[in-house]
Amino acid sequence: MTEAAPVVHEILSSPAKGQVIPLEQVNDEVFSKKMMGNGFAITEHDGHIYAPIDGEITSIFPTKHALIITTLAGTGILIHLGLDTVELEGAPFDIKVTEQQKIKHGDLLAVMDLKQIQEAQKDATVIVITPDDQSGQLLKQDVAVDVTDEVFER
Protein backbone atom coordinates (compact mmCIF):
# COMPACT_ATOMS: atom_id res chain seq x y z
CA MET A 1 0.00 0.00 0.00
CA THR A 2 1.51 3.32 -1.04
CA GLU A 3 1.06 6.46 0.97
CA ALA A 4 -0.80 9.34 -0.62
CA ALA A 5 1.14 12.54 -1.04
CA PRO A 6 0.44 14.95 1.81
CA VAL A 7 -2.12 17.60 1.02
CA VAL A 8 -0.46 20.99 0.73
CA HIS A 9 -2.38 23.84 2.28
CA GLU A 10 -1.01 27.30 1.60
CA ILE A 11 -2.42 30.78 1.88
CA LEU A 12 -1.14 33.57 -0.38
CA SER A 13 -1.35 37.21 0.59
CA SER A 14 -1.65 40.05 -1.86
CA PRO A 15 1.69 40.95 -3.47
CA ALA A 16 0.67 44.62 -3.64
CA LYS A 17 -1.66 47.17 -2.14
CA GLY A 18 -4.46 47.42 -4.69
CA GLN A 19 -7.66 45.78 -5.92
CA VAL A 20 -7.89 41.97 -5.98
CA ILE A 21 -9.76 40.44 -8.91
CA PRO A 22 -10.37 36.86 -10.09
CA LEU A 23 -8.29 35.61 -13.00
CA GLU A 24 -11.42 35.49 -15.15
CA GLN A 25 -11.39 39.33 -15.18
CA VAL A 26 -7.81 39.61 -16.49
CA ASN A 27 -7.61 41.06 -20.01
CA ASP A 28 -5.50 38.18 -21.35
CA GLU A 29 -6.96 34.80 -22.37
CA VAL A 30 -3.94 32.80 -21.23
CA PHE A 31 -4.60 33.97 -17.66
CA SER A 32 -8.38 34.51 -17.72
CA LYS A 33 -9.01 30.98 -19.01
CA LYS A 34 -6.52 29.60 -16.45
CA MET A 35 -4.40 27.97 -19.16
CA MET A 36 -1.29 28.37 -16.98
CA GLY A 37 -2.94 27.60 -13.64
CA ASN A 38 -5.22 29.08 -11.00
CA GLY A 39 -4.66 32.25 -9.00
CA PHE A 40 -5.66 35.89 -8.85
CA ALA A 41 -4.67 39.35 -10.03
CA ILE A 42 -4.08 42.77 -8.49
CA THR A 43 -5.03 46.01 -10.24
CA GLU A 44 -4.81 49.68 -9.20
CA HIS A 45 -1.58 49.11 -7.27
CA ASP A 46 1.38 51.40 -6.56
CA GLY A 47 4.01 49.28 -8.33
CA HIS A 48 5.65 47.86 -5.20
CA ILE A 49 5.52 44.06 -5.34
CA TYR A 50 6.02 41.97 -2.20
CA ALA A 51 6.37 38.26 -1.47
CA PRO A 52 2.92 36.73 -0.95
CA ILE A 53 4.40 33.75 0.96
CA ASP A 54 7.68 32.49 2.45
CA GLY A 55 9.97 30.61 0.07
CA GLU A 56 12.89 30.93 -2.30
CA ILE A 57 13.26 32.82 -5.58
CA THR A 58 13.91 30.00 -8.05
CA SER A 59 13.66 31.94 -11.30
CA ILE A 60 13.77 35.53 -12.51
CA PHE A 61 12.90 35.85 -16.18
CA PRO A 62 15.61 37.63 -18.24
CA THR A 63 13.06 40.30 -19.20
CA LYS A 64 12.32 40.86 -15.48
CA HIS A 65 8.55 40.72 -16.09
CA ALA A 66 8.06 37.53 -14.07
CA LEU A 67 9.57 35.52 -11.26
CA ILE A 68 8.94 32.19 -9.61
CA ILE A 69 8.88 31.50 -5.89
CA THR A 70 9.16 27.96 -4.61
CA THR A 71 7.27 27.84 -1.33
CA LEU A 72 8.43 26.03 1.81
CA ALA A 73 6.01 23.23 0.83
CA GLY A 74 7.78 22.91 -2.53
CA THR A 75 5.08 24.37 -4.77
CA GLY A 76 5.73 27.00 -7.42
CA ILE A 77 4.15 30.45 -7.48
CA LEU A 78 4.49 32.61 -10.61
CA ILE A 79 4.28 36.38 -10.20
CA HIS A 80 3.75 38.05 -13.57
CA LEU A 81 4.25 41.82 -13.72
CA GLY A 82 1.81 43.33 -16.19
CA LEU A 83 0.36 42.12 -19.49
CA ASP A 84 2.50 42.01 -22.63
CA THR A 85 5.29 43.67 -20.62
CA VAL A 86 7.80 41.07 -21.85
CA GLU A 87 8.04 43.34 -24.92
CA LEU A 88 9.53 46.09 -22.73
CA GLU A 89 12.68 43.96 -22.20
CA GLY A 90 12.93 44.66 -18.48
CA ALA A 91 13.05 48.47 -18.70
CA PRO A 92 10.21 49.27 -16.25
CA PHE A 93 11.20 46.66 -13.64
CA ASP A 94 13.61 47.01 -10.73
CA ILE A 95 14.01 43.51 -9.28
CA LYS A 96 15.07 43.63 -5.61
CA VAL A 97 15.87 39.91 -5.15
CA THR A 98 18.20 37.35 -6.72
CA GLU A 99 17.74 33.72 -7.73
CA GLN A 100 18.18 31.24 -4.85
CA GLN A 101 17.45 34.02 -2.34
CA LYS A 102 15.34 32.94 0.63
CA ILE A 103 12.42 35.30 1.13
CA LYS A 104 9.80 35.92 3.78
CA HIS A 105 6.20 36.99 3.30
CA GLY A 106 6.20 40.76 2.86
CA ASP A 107 9.75 41.11 1.48
CA LEU A 108 10.01 43.63 -1.38
CA LEU A 109 10.51 41.68 -4.63
CA ALA A 110 10.27 44.34 -7.32
CA VAL A 111 9.26 47.87 -8.17
CA MET A 112 7.35 48.53 -11.37
CA ASP A 113 7.67 51.91 -13.09
CA LEU A 114 3.95 52.43 -13.68
CA LYS A 115 4.48 55.62 -15.69
CA GLN A 116 6.78 53.82 -18.12
CA ILE A 117 4.31 50.92 -18.44
CA GLN A 118 1.45 53.34 -19.09
CA GLU A 119 3.49 55.28 -21.67
CA ALA A 120 4.14 51.97 -23.47
CA GLN A 121 0.35 51.42 -23.44
CA LYS A 122 0.66 48.19 -21.44
CA ASP A 123 -1.52 46.91 -18.61
CA ALA A 124 0.18 46.92 -15.17
CA THR A 125 -2.02 44.17 -13.68
CA VAL A 126 -0.01 41.82 -11.45
CA ILE A 127 -0.95 38.16 -11.83
CA VAL A 128 -0.19 35.47 -9.25
CA ILE A 129 -0.71 31.87 -10.35
CA THR A 130 0.12 28.35 -9.28
CA PRO A 131 1.47 26.97 -12.59
CA ASP A 132 -0.18 23.80 -13.89
CA ASP A 133 -2.44 23.65 -10.83
CA GLN A 134 -6.16 24.37 -10.97
CA SER A 135 -6.74 23.97 -7.23
CA GLY A 136 -7.32 26.85 -4.87
CA GLN A 137 -9.87 29.55 -4.29
CA LEU A 138 -10.06 33.27 -3.80
CA LEU A 139 -10.74 34.38 -0.25
CA LYS A 140 -11.51 37.96 -1.33
CA GLN A 141 -12.35 39.54 -4.67
CA ASP A 142 -13.25 42.92 -6.11
CA VAL A 143 -12.11 44.68 -2.93
CA ALA A 144 -9.14 46.79 -1.88
CA VAL A 145 -6.37 44.74 -0.26
CA ASP A 146 -3.04 45.36 1.42
CA VAL A 147 0.04 43.11 1.45
CA THR A 148 -0.99 41.68 4.83
CA ASP A 149 -4.38 40.50 3.48
CA GLU A 150 -4.80 36.79 2.75
CA VAL A 151 -6.43 36.50 -0.67
CA PHE A 152 -5.93 32.97 -2.05
CA GLU A 153 -5.97 29.53 -0.49
CA ARG A 154 -4.80 26.26 -2.00
Q: Hey, which residues does 83 pair with through a beta bridge?
A: 123
Using an 8 Å Cβ cutoff, are 14 and 39 in contact? no
Q: Which of 126, 128, 65, 66 is nearest to 92 (CA)?
A: 65
Q: Hey, which residues does 144 pair with through a beta bridge?
A: 19
80 has catalytic annotation: yes
Q: Is 134 left (phi over 0), alpha (psi -120 to 50) or beta?
A: alpha
Q: How far is CA 19 from CA 68, 96, 126, in A?
A: 22, 23, 10
Using an 8 Å Cβ cutoff, are 66 and 99 in contact? no
From the candidates 9, 45, 65, 80, which is the catalytic residue?
Answer: 80
User: What positions carry a catalytic annotation?
Assistant: 80
